[in-house]
Amino acid sequence: MKYDHLLDNKKRIHFIGIGGSGMCPLAEILMSEGFEIQGSDMNEGETLDKIKGYGIPVFMGHKAENIEGAELVVYSAAVKEDNPERKAAVEKGIPCIERSIMLGIVSRRYNRSIAISGTHGKTSTTGMLTQVLIEAGFDPSAIIGGKLPFIGGNSYVGHSDILVCEACEYVDTFLELTPFVSVILNIDADHLDYFKNLDNIKKSFNQFAKQTTGALVLNGDDKNTMDAIKDVNIVKITYGFDSTNDYYAANISADKGVHESFDLMKRGEKLCTINLMVPGQHNIYNALATAATAHYLGANAKEIAEGLSKFGGVHRRFEILGTPGGITVADDFAHHPTELKATLNAAMKMGFNKVWAVFQPHTFSRTAMLLDDFAEALRIPHEAIISEILPVRETNTYNIYSKDLGAKVPGSKCIDTFEDITEYVTSNAQPGDLILTMGGGNVYMCANMILEKLKAKYE
């Protein structure tokens, strides 16, 4: 690829926004290869503490002089052109690249790079596969979009030729990758502010699939996925619930939806029984994708079953924070209607007296374009609380507000602030209930506020 030469004869690399979840793993991997790493960031945090713990110099704040001595500069997507460090790099003629380009460069330094793509489930599946491969002794490196408790973070530096990473479709960043194996979990209408329609999303996934060098692992039950890869001439491995797939789940059972179990089948032959700690049909799909990929890489059925049985989830994926006073408080990253439905349907089967969904809509464009689908999802729980819409990178040119969503969900309540949501929910929830905060933004802060208030009330 055209950027791969950028690491040639380079020693010192500067990361702008080095504390970001996507930047830290790249810095770790490159440091392990002998590069001298330095960086800057605006905010202290757990990830930055980890970086500093490696002895990597970190400047707080962005200043032109921070890049002194750097031979290559990497910046996160959030860093704009007018950033003083980016401007200084340009003025000095220092090569300056965005994080997704560096991910592509790094991934091609591994003979077997595994890219996990799809509209939903990327982080959970990347975490699952990483844990299975580490447990099975494959010693992969990994770049995960969320914290995996098993490795104590969102990255792992192994010593094999395997790299497991997420491949995000937003603004086509995954097209910087040329994976050995590409996993496509599903394709759904999302990021329509960029893609405009589902056909354009499929075209991007088609191109991504064509850049794969070894094999595609595909959700054979997902029509959009199978449509997108029709003309791709490469090894295709399918998985799903339907027995026409190469790998499929049979004899699915669940203990009140809390523990899923199924027989892993391969073309009519039972390989093993999988017992999952994580709930929901969507996690069975994630486990099937993991099993098919791990099997292709050489893991045996026993190793796959044992690895999956120990997977306890990743940060912000139905993460149970506590149970003060017998009220369960959990947090989930779901921010698309399909994800909300999957998580809420799983929650409703778990035997709670009442399920409270506290939802923070994420971006005006997604809320406006998928309004009816969000409303359908929020009719699933017993109680739905909707906060203000989190703008992220947008202005409200769509003239959309939380009350527009609330009007379509009978019995729901629109409460703007986390403080008021916390007061309302903690005053009304009862022992045996589940309070589940949901969203791709900072709604986890509300979950923590609810947890602390309940602790003060009951403990």
Task: Parse the chain into domains and list their residue ranges.
Answer: 10-98, 110-309, 319-458
Active-site residue flag, 260: no
Residue 257 has pLDDT above 70, yes or no: no
Catalytic residue among 85, 135, 166, 260: 166
Nearest CA-CA partner of 129 in 23, 288, 22? 288
What CATH superfamily is the domain 319-458?
Mur ligase, C-terminal domain (3.90.190.20)
Q: How far apart are CA 101 and CA 118, in angstroms?
A: 19
pLDDT band at 373 (very low <50, low <70, confident <90, very high): very high
DSSP 362: B
Active-site residue flag, 422: no
Residue 319 has pLDDT above 90, yes or no: no
Residue 280 has pLDDT above 90, yes or no: no
Q: How far apart are CA 154 and CA 145, in angstroms?
A: 6
Catalytic residue among 28, 119, 122, 178: 122
Active-site residue flag, 122: yes
In the prediction, which pLDDT does 334 show? 87
Residue 411 has pLDDT above 70, yes or no: yes
Catalytic residue among 47, 123, 173, 178: 123
The region, left, alpha or beta by phi > 0 then psi within -120 to 50, assigned to residue 56 is beta
Q: What is the torsion angle, in degrees rounded to the nearest 10, for the CA atoms of residue 6, residue 8, residue 13 and residue 19?
A: 70
Q: What is the mean pLDDT of residues 391-412?
A: 93
Give pLDDT tens digits for 88-134.
Answer: 999 999 999 999 999 999 999 999 999 999 988 899 999 999 999 99
The CATH number fitting domain 110-309, selected from 3.30.465.10, 1.10.150.130, 3.40.640.10, 3.40.1190.10: 3.40.1190.10
DSSP strand E in 121-245: where? 141-148, 153-156, 162-166, 181-184, 215-219, 235-240
Average pLDDT score, the chain: 93
Structurally, at CATH architecture level, domain 10-98 sits in 3-Layer(aba) Sandwich (3.40)
pLDDT band at 326 (very low <50, low <70, confident <90, very high): very high
Nearest CA-CA partner of 16 in 50, 60, 69, 71? 60
196 three-state secondary structure: coil
